Amino acid sequence: MLLHGTDALKEAAAAGHALPGFVAYNLETVQGVTAAAEAAGGPVVIQAGSSPFKHAGREALIRLALDAAARSTASLGVHLDHSRDLDEISACLAAGYTSVMVDGSHLPFAENIALTKEAVRRARDHGAWVEAELGALPGDEDVSTDAVAQAAAMTDPQQAAEFVAATGVDALAVAVGNVHGFTEHLVRLDLARLAAIHEAVPVPLVLHGASGLPVGELHCALARGVAKVNVNAELRRAYLEATRATLPSALPGSDVVALWAAGRDAVRDAALDVISRLSPHAEGGNPRARLCPR
């Protein structure tokens, strides 16, 4: 069933856990994320957004994601991720997306506010909620590039307060040392900065680039206002490793279905692992039971 409204997001924020957002590129990744949500029994967001549209086609992926969510026994939001195009945002809202992310992080501050305000206005007409981004998150959404976080590009708490007040967004994606994709460089979240942002803004925070973060680091972020966590690279890697392992046995009979099934099931298992790590009861993950560093 489709997950409408911000209740799940607000409940996650209040309880110290997070709503998982999983990027989906095609039928198999949509199926894998949906199966994980059904197995876990909790709300999940399918992120069928701007970048995957380039591969699958916008209308095709919109229908895949919305149909899967509507038919599922799980509560599934369908989210437009990293969109810079108001026409694209309007098209997804009209189709029935439950939330959108307008990404003006590449723009000057005033222009980011103006773009985000217009996205919020359009979303309100459709009963959808809006996520925006402030600060520059390094790396590529689709390919791991050994990105390195830059302190100068991180989200400023005072600017975050001004931005949220001016735009009326429902959630704010922040740059606090996180990067898109896997990286060989050590990723350490600036938890003091994250705590200051949490104190400055009244809306739930979103952590992009959570693939590979240790459970302890992740739960310290949840204790500082992060109520939605986006994961992409872990699912991509699981899909590729499963298809590589299956290819030798599939090739002799040209069994492409076996290849697709292996990728789908690997996405499901990887998503379930992420969901378990986001639980307040995950091993090493209860921020109330220990002190978080920094």
Q: Is 81 a catalytic residue?
A: yes
What is the rounded CA–CA span in Å between residue 145 and residue 157?
Answer: 28
Confirm if 67 and 50 have CB atoms less than 8 A apart. Answer: no
Q: Which of 284, 172, 148 is nearest to 224 (CA)?
A: 172
Q: Which residue has the tokens 């590009």?
A: 153
Q: What does DSSP say about strands 76-83 and 99-102: parallel, antiparallel, or unpaired?
A: parallel
What is the rounded CA–CA span in Å between residue 246 and residue 278?
Answer: 30
What is the rounded CA–CA span in Å between residue 44 and residue 34?
Answer: 8
- Marked catalytic residue, from 67, 81, 140, 156: 81
CA atoms within 13 A of residue 174's CA, in its CB half-sphere? 36
Q: Could you tell me where the DSSP H helices lie in 101-232? A: 109-124, 157-167, 191-200, 215-222
The type of residue at 232 is N
Confirm if 48 and 16 have CB atoms less than 8 A apart. Answer: no
Angstrom distances, CA of residue 10 to CA of 1, 82, 146, 170, 183: 19, 21, 33, 10, 31
Using DSSP's 3-state secondary structure scheme, residue 6 falls into coil
- CA 21, 272, 140, 54 torsion: positive or negative? negative
Catalytic residue annotation = 81
